[in-house]
Amino acid sequence: MSCPFSEEQLAQLKTFVDLCSAQPLILQHPKLSFFKDYLAQLGVNIPTATFDPKTFSASGDSNTTSANADDKGAVSSGEESDAESDVELDMEGVITDTSEADQDMGDDSKEVTDEERDQSDEKRSEAMRAFSEQQFDEAVTLYTEAIKLNPQSALLFAKRGQVFLKQNKLHACIKDCTRALELNCDSAAGYKFRGRAYRLLGKFEEASHDLCESLKIDYDDQTNEWLSEVKPNAEKLRQHKLTVQRKKEEKEHNEKLRRARNAQEARANAAKEQSESQPTFPPGMGGMGGMGGMGG
């Protein structure tokens, strides 16, 4: 006797049977009542629990809901663990800067003439004199005039950033030094003063990075001293991040093992239940007629 089903229909039927094996309760779905009635006629013992769509997933894992709940618990526990292991930092010397970094940055598209460059150098000399006399507001004004004349000079931005640092205008300092580094990635002064500003704001990892970069380019004792201040906190933060990352990876690994174990148990239970309720077909009985149009 030839098989009344096409290969595609047989594949669909196999998928359906596999799903029933993994999730017997799906037979309680209203749309499958005709098939459940047929199995009942054959004497198959069908699970009588109420069908709940939320209990099932296309993957055949009937533990999706409980797994999600466990996930939430795991995340909560992880967050608590992280909070408990927060690193203690030495915040001595950290200050709060509420000023805005709204300084004039000049026109970066300006084509500087030789005359303007000379004028800018004169303003820079005046600014340096004012800075040495601790006339910081005057120094900022003069550096700004120099920048407007020559906005392509990394040194001018780094030097004005130094003045802002003296005034504890840390965000303005960072903005100027960042611009200096955009113009010249080897600006030791840019890294130095930005690193110090980060340190005063309590951003120890950023400070450590910048101060190290400055020392690589041009060593000086003050930068090295500033680096020594931030190293302990920066190392604590680094170790803390490594610990948090390790715990996260361990949690994810354990969660994968748990899901795999639950899925294996679910498949084993479903197979056992299916085996116990497997019907015995009468001799000579043909295929399951009437299912030729069964969809996927």
Average pLDDT in the chain: 82
pLDDT (0 to 100) of residue 64 = 40
C-alpha to C-alpha distance for 40 and 290, rounded to whole angstroms? 17
pLDDT (0 to 100) of residue 58 = 41
Place of tokens 């450590």: 208
Place of tokens 């663990």: 81
Which pLDDT band holds residue 27 (cuts at 50, 70, 90)? confident
Second-level CATH architecture of 114-239: Alpha Horseshoe (1.25)
Q: Is the pLDDT of residue 85 over 90?
A: no
Q: Is the pLDDT of residue 52 over 60?
A: no
Q: Is the pLDDT of residue 97 over 60?
A: yes
Whole-Å CA distances, 196 to 114, 229, 262:
34, 10, 53
- What single-letter DSSP state applies at residue 31? G
User: Quick one: 31 exposed, middle or buried, by C-beta within 10 A (0-12, 13-18, 19+)?
Assistant: exposed
pTM: 0.58
First to last CA, the chain: 25
pLDDT (0 to 100) of residue 14 = 76
pLDDT (0 to 100) of residue 102 = 95
pLDDT (0 to 100) of residue 59 = 41
CB 158 within 8 A of CB 177: yes
Which pLDDT band holds residue 71 (cuts at 50, 70, 90)? very low
Q: Is the pLDDT of residue 129 over 80?
A: yes
120: Cα within 13 Å, side-chain hemisphere: 20
pLDDT (0 to 100) of residue 83 = 41
C-alpha to C-alpha distance for 217 and 105, rounded to whole angstroms? 25
C-alpha to C-alpha distance for 200 and 197, rounded to whole angstroms? 5
CB 26 within 8 A of CB 20: yes
Q: Is the pLDDT of residue 61 over 60?
A: no
Pick the range with the lowest mean pLDDT from 40-49, 157-166, 276-285: 276-285
Q: Which long-range contacts (CB under 8 A, 24 or more apart) does 215-221 make?
A: 217/186, 217/187, 217/188, 217/191, 218/188, 220/192
Sequence spans of domains, the chain: 16-85, 114-239
By 3-state DSSP, what share of the chain in percent is helix, strand and coil, each rounded to 5? Answer: 70, 0, 30
Mean pLDDT, residues 261-283: 77
Stretch (H or E) spanning 154? helix 154-166
Cβ atoms within 10 Å of 104's Cβ, excluding its own = 12
Q: Is the pLDDT of residue 80 over 50?
A: no
Pick the range with the lowest mean pLDDT from 48-52, 92-96, 162-166, 173-177: 48-52
